[in-house]
């Protein structure tokens, strides 16, 4: 029986490529990535294409795809790198890999909360000098996490997982989400509020929402001005949800206390130097899902989506 073809615009990790090759013919570029013209040729005859968050698939890309392509199988939760309207107009099925990364994303969020509140970055810098008893004066102290009010923006799978972990710290939970419910309130001992109330009352603001026209620069200068001077902002969702220039100004002027970031507005380019140099910012290089468990789960889930699409015409995790 003729095997289905999967094309990818970038070289795959050997383990993933090998797992796919057991059932499908895999077409990969000769180099690390393929430009549009090379990929269109590569994808001729392919029924599905594999995508990562770093593969920008705008309307021009999607409209240039061969007619044989019927599916985009994306690895990861976010799909803002894909023009979903263009995909829908072309009749393409798009899938992602939700849920499998949730525990690691939630763990990273809690880690950033603790690191930012307790000023671990400054402590590490002092420890590197060999000083064993730094940060003993009041102006260098951090703030306690236990008992703080955590505002969760986006109460989906990750937001709920963060809420569960936060309860171990006796945190007061408020949240905003498109679909609040009494069931969420009861299960997580949380209170649904609007965004303005959350920004004004939360000690820690943790972002767990998709990037779209409504959320792009949701945290801008006006939003930051509503926050407490002691506020800590955490973002592991998508960089452009925050206006980084406004955030940098607020952190420099001590308008807010600190930030913990795993994603950045300038991705896939470098993190802004002004952000990296601030002592009250804890930056991670987009590694919230970078664990053996998450990456293995993502690989298995993307394979399950491809298998289900070719066998039944419907992936496990349809986006459009």
> What residues are annotated to the active site?
238, 267, 286
Bridge partners (DSSP) listed for residue 204: 150, 232
Distance CA(57)–CA(53), nearest Å, equals: 10
- Cα(133)–Cα(135) distance, integer angstroms: 7
DSSP designation for 76: S
| DSSP letter (8 states) at residue 128 | H
Q: How many other β-carbons are positioned within 10 Å of the β-carbon of residue 49?
A: 27
DSSP one-letter code for 138: G
Instruction: List CB contacts of 165: < 8 A, sequence separation 6 or more.
Output: 106, 107, 109, 110
Beta strand pairing call for 204-207 and 149-153: parallel
CA distance 162 to 9: 34
| Cα end-to-end span (Å), the chain | 29
- Under 8 Å CB-to-CB from 284, ≥6 apart: which residues? 108, 112, 260, 261, 262
The pair of three-digit structure tokens given for residue 76, joined into one six-digit string: 């990861």
Rg (CA), the chain: 22
Please check whether residue 114 is in contact with residue 168, taking contact to mean a CB–CB distance below 8 angstroms: no
């Amino acid at each position: 029986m003729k095997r289905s073809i999967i094309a990818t615009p970038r070289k795959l990790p050997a383990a993933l490529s090998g797992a796919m090759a057991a059932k499908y013919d895999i077409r990969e570029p000769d180099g690390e990535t393929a430009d549009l013209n090379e990929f269109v040729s590569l994808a001729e005859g392919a029924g599905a294409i594999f995508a990562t968050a770093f593969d920008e698939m705008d309307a021009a890309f999607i409209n240039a795809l061969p007619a044989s392509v019927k599916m985009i199988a994306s690895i990861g939760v976010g799909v803002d790198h894909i023009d979903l309207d263009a995909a829908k107009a072309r009749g393409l099925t798009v899938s992602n890999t939700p849920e499998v990364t949730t525990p690691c994303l939630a763990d990273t969020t809690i880690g950033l909360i603790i690191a930012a509140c307790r000023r671990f970055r400054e402590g590490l810098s002092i420890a590197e000098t060999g000083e064993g008893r730094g940060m003993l004066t009041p102006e260098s102290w951090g703030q306690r996490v236990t008992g703080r009010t955590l505002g969760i923006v986006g109460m989906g799978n990750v937001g709920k997982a963060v809420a569960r972990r936060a309860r171990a710290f006796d945190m007061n939970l408020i949240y905003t989400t498109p679909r609040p419910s009494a069931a969420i309130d009861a299960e997580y001992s949380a209170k649904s509020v609007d965004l303005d109330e959350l920004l004004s009352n939360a000690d820690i603001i943790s972002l767990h929402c998709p990037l779209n026209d409504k959320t792009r620069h949701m945290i801008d200068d006006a939003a930051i001005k509503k926050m407490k001077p002691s506020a800590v902002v955490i973002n592991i969702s998508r960089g452009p949800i925050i206006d980084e220039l406004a955030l940098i100004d607020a952190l420099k002027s001590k308008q807010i206390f600190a930030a913990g970031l795993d994603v950045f507005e300038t991705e896939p380019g470098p993190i802004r130097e002004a952000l990296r140099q601030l002592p009250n910012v804890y930056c991670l290089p987009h590694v919230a899902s970078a664990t053996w468990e998450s990456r293995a789960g993502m690989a298995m889930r993307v394979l399950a989506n491809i298998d289900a699409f070719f066998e039944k015409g419907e992936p496990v995790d349809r986006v459009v």
